Amino acid sequence: MNNLPAHSPVIIVGAGPSGLMMAAQLLRFGIQPVIIEAKTALNTESRALAVQARSLEIFRQMGLDKVALDQGNVAKGLELYQDTERIADIELSSLGEGISFFPFALILEQSKTERILVDYLTGNACPIYWDTQVLGLYQTDKVVSVKVKRSAGEEIISCDWLIGADGAGSKVRKSLNISFSGGTYENKFFLADMKIAGEKSTDYIRVFLKDKGFTGIFPMKDSSYRFIGTIPAALQAKPDISFDDLRPYLTYDLGFSLEGDRCNWFSTYQLHHRMAEKFRNQRCFLIGDAAHIHSPAGGQGMNTGLQDAYNLAWKLAGVIKNRYPDSILNTYAEERMPVAKTLLKTTDRLFGIGIGQTWLIRKLRRWFLPLILNRIRKTERISRQLFGVISQTGISYRNGSLSVHHGGSKAVRAGDRLPFIKFFDEKLKQETDLHAWCAQTGFTLIVIGNLGQRDILAIAKWIKLSYPLDLNFFYLPYSERNQPLFDCFEMNETSKKAIVVRPDMHIGYINDVVDVELLAGYFQEIVRWK
């Protein structure tokens, strides 16, 4: 067993998706964290299944998107059934065309997502300390002390900052006495990973609605399927339910037999919807399920945790490197708590429609839900809005204190995720996209519109003198072939625009005036760059 460092800049408690992403992001910014986990190894079983476009964009920035796509399965669409009759369908594989490099949702088991991140950590010489249980913690204004239990006994380690990524039952959250309010859904649910052969094989997500609940089937790799659904009322009180108990009910609900198909994993559980009262307590932070848990509706849970880490990591790394003041860390909760609150409300309502037993909800499921899906399929504006919600590409921090908007554009504003737009790089003479320009660590300054050579050199000189390691610079003059990009930012051939993109690919600053003093003011007065 490896010895734990006595003191570390950052300790991450929990080696699930959120904790692993936090570690990976800190490594990108040059910070070596310590990860401790009570389990003895990675889980081979998992509940989370969908990796949304926004998460894949993060993976692309890290160079991990190709391995994720190789191991996952792009769902072609969603088919909705009432009993065994198909009543609606919608294509998903290109729903976000033009919105993201990944215009789809990827079916990828949580265990595989975790393995991809662990391999990234291993490649960057960042170990995980397994079989290390947190017993309690104590913090001052300068340090956090953590009491842990390992096979060799108990010991105390310390850190400058601590991240609680240890799930719904978070020991970190409990040690900080942070309330976790919410509730538990009444029904019990099941998960089953199956191998299905023959004619039933499909790349479509299928959801079977019944008056007493639902069953969803999600296509994975190699003719494997994830089943998720409500346990029948007759089995709700039965202890130690097996898949064989459930098999005849599923055969009746789905309209085809599962006899002979192999169940590789089966689990029953209850679902909760809860949120922590606060996401920060002095030098400790909560991310992922330690901060918020909700229903699986829309496949949002794991992705939200990944974005929590993505939001916090660059800020914390900057504080550790003495680039930013501690106060920037307050923007983590400022930006992410509203996202979690909205998500809880949305998924709770959607899940309520899926499992509710009132007359009105059953009518909604049977009659109005198909109408809504068909309307989405036929209306581009609505389908794009739906993709923005499901993919999490529509999340914005417009009201955050790091967002400064001095431009005339209304569709794209400071705080929004940087739009994904393909264009022609006039300098390199090749096709690229805005997200590719922001693949490096640090902030990125993008100047769009025609500037004189003297102005370009002045900006480059200012960056070299003030922020040589932390501010990347790209310039795109006007050209007819790049008109779609100018249209996106509501510009014409005489317009100019300065855009500052944060390390998490959200826009921090937009101005229709390209001026070094105004740019410096943003970094000095808003980011408070040292």
- pLDDT tens sequence across 288-314: 999 999 877 667 889 999 999 999 999
Average pLDDT over residues 512-530: 94
**Which residues are 406's β-sheet partners?**
511
Average pLDDT over residues 174-178: 96
pTM over 0.85: yes
Six token digits for residue 271: 């679902």
Above 90 in pLDDT, residue 198? no
pLDDT digits (tens, 9 = 90+) for 446-455: 999 999 999 9
Q: What is the mean pLDDT of residues 232-261?
A: 82
- pLDDT on residue 367: 67
Return d(Cα 33, Cα 320) in angstroms, integer.
11
CATH 3.40.30.120 boundaries in the chain: 404-526
Spatial separation of the C-alpha atoms in residues 192 and 89, rounded to whole Å = 24
CA atoms 457, 463, 468, 471: torsion sign: negative
Whether CATH 3.40.30.120 fits 404-526? yes
Say which residue the tokens 């990009």 belong to.
485
Highest mean predicted confidence (pLDDT) among 1-10, 123-132, 421-430: 123-132
Q: What are the beta bridge partners of residue 229?
A: 190, 215
How many CA atoms lie within 13 Å of 319's alpha carbon, on the beta-carbon side? 17
Q: Give the pLDDT of residue 366.
A: 67
Residue 94's φ and ψ, nearest 5 degrees, are: -130, 20
Question: What is the pLDDT averaged over residues 331-347?
Answer: 91
Q: Which residue has the tokens 């003198």?
A: 465
Q: Are 183 and 212 in contact (CB under 8 A)?
A: no
Tell me the CATH architecture of domain 183-272: 2-Layer Sandwich (3.30)
Strand partners of residue 284: 162, 281
pLDDT, residue 251, reads 82
- Which two structure tokens, joined as six digits, stand for 67? 């391995």
Task: Give the pLDDT confidence score for residue 525 in this predicted structure.
Answer: 94
- Residue 397 — pLDDT band, cuts 50, 70, 90? very high
Give the three-class secondary structure for 164: strand
Rounded to the nearest 5 percent, the helix, strand and coil shares of the chain are 35, 30, 35
Q: What is the pLDDT of residue 361?
A: 63
In the three-class reduction of DSSP (H, G, I as helix; E, B as strand; rest coil), residue 132 is classed as coil
pLDDT in tens, 61-99: 999 999 999 999 998 888 888 778 888 888 888 889 999
Residue 328 has pLDDT above 80, yes or no: yes
Measured between alpha carbons, how far is residue 404 from residues 379, 400, 417, 438, 522 in Å?
A: 33, 9, 14, 19, 8
User: Residue 17 corresponds to which tokens in the numbers above?
Assistant: 């998706």
Q: What is the dihedral of CA 88, 92, 94, 98, to 10 degrees?
A: 100
Question: Which DSSP helix (H) or strand (E) runs through 371?
Answer: helix 369-378
* Residue range(s) occupied by CATH 3.30.70.2450 in the chain: 183-272
Amino acid letter for position 19: G
Rounded Cα–Cα distance for residues 365 and 211 (Å) = 9
Instruction: Tell me the residue type at 112.
Output: K
Give the span between the Cα atoms of 50 and 359, in whole angstroms. 31
Domain 7-71+108-179+277-338 class? alpha beta
Mean pLDDT of 388-403: 94
Least confident of 164-173, 232-241, 350-359, 501-510: 350-359
Q: How many CB atoms lie within 10 A of CB 421?
A: 19
**For a pLDDT cut of 90, what percent of the chain falls above it?**
62
Q: Which amino acid is at 320?
A: I
- Which of 507, 509, 505 has its CA nearest to residue 522? 509
Whether 506 shows a pLDDT value over 80: the answer reads: yes
Among 181-195, 251-265, 313-327, the range scoring the smallest mean pLDDT is: 251-265
